[in-house]
């Protein structure tokens, strides 16, 4: 049994949950988890149905893109995942989805502002649109790097889908659901043609300060452990 067994099991479990909930379809999307204390990740294989793979098929890849374990090639988005982990030290899990309502905003190239306090507290002050790059390309990975400094946990990828980050897999999945909630309600609100109210700036700042505090605590924990 692999020493990374628990990571592989978690990645597979949540990948299947994404599919069950309709946040991705068929072989679309990908899920990864950072290996604690190592520059390695567990990530789904490329072009494989989540219900057609087994725990041993989940790939272990190091930060130099070397595959260490797995029966199939890792996701074509592996570089994208690794770059997020390198540049966002608070992140331990990533879910790239093709969820429907978030994907609407990927097509109209429209960011989603702060509308609900629960969403802002968990995701951040805005859900920005990352410029288009071909799936699996170095350009896409670089485009994502340029957006990560806003410290938000969800992004829309133009003409593609969404990227959801978390300090844990449970946290990342919750952000997937919060993103779909805000995208859906914002879409319906826009279609009424009525003015849309946004959260006051002072409230947004206060909620984001609490989010940043949690992120800073996770970064400090890793530094203390020498990671």
pLDDT the model gives residue 227:
67
Residues 130 and 147 sit within 8 Å (Cβ to Cβ): yes
b/e map 180-199, b = 16+ CB within 10 Å? bebbebbbeeeeeeeeeeeb
pLDDT the model gives residue 19:
93
Q: What's the pTM value of the predicted model, to 2 decimals?
A: 0.96
List, as one string, the DSSP characters of 25-72: -TT--EEEEEPTTSSEEEEPBTT--GGG--GGGSEEEETT--EEE-SS
pLDDT the model gives residue 62:
98
Domain of residue 215: give its range.
Answer: 5-224
Residues 78 and 65 sit within 8 Å (Cβ to Cβ): yes
Any idea what the CATH number is for the domain that residue 46 is in?
3.40.225.10
Q: What is the pLDDT along the chain (227 residues), one digit of tens a residue?
A: 789 999 999 999 999 999 999 998 777 799 999 999 999 999 999 988 888 889 999 999 999 999 999 999 999 999 999 999 999 999 999 999 999 999 999 999 999 999 999 999 999 999 999 999 999 999 999 999 999 999 999 999 999 999 999 999 999 999 999 999 999 999 999 999 999 999 999 999 999 999 999 999 999 999 988 76
Helix (H), strand (E) at residue 205 = helix 201-224
Give the total number of structural domains in the chain: 1
């Amino acid at each position: 049994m692999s020493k990374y067994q628990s990571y592989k099991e978690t990645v597979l479990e949540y990948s299947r949950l994404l599919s069950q909930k309709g946040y991705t379809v068929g072989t679309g999307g990908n899920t990864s988890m950072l290996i604690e204390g190592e520059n390695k990740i567990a990530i789904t294989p490329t072009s494989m149905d989540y219900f057609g793979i087994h725990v041993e098929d989940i790939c272990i890849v190091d930060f130099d893109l070397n595959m260490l374990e797995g029966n199939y090639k890792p996701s074509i988005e592996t570089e994208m995942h690794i770059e997020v982990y390198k540049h966002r030290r608070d992140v331990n899990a990533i879910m790239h989805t093709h969820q429907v309502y978030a994907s609407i905003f990927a097509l109209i190239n429209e960011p989603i502002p702060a509308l609900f306090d629960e969403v802002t507290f968990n995701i951040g002050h805005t859900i920005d649109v990352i410029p288009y790059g071909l799936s699996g390309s170095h350009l896409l990975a670089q485009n994502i790097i340029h957006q990560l400094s806003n410290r938000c946990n969800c992004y829309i990828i133009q003409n593609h889908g969404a990227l959801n980050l978390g300090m844990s897999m449970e946290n990342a999945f919750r952000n997937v659901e919060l993103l779909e909630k805000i995208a859906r309600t914002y879409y319906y609100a826009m279609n009424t043609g009525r003015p849309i109210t946004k959260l006051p700036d002072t409230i947004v700042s206060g909620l984001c300060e609490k989010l940043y505090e949690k992120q800073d605590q996770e970064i400090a924990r890793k530094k203390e452990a020498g990671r």
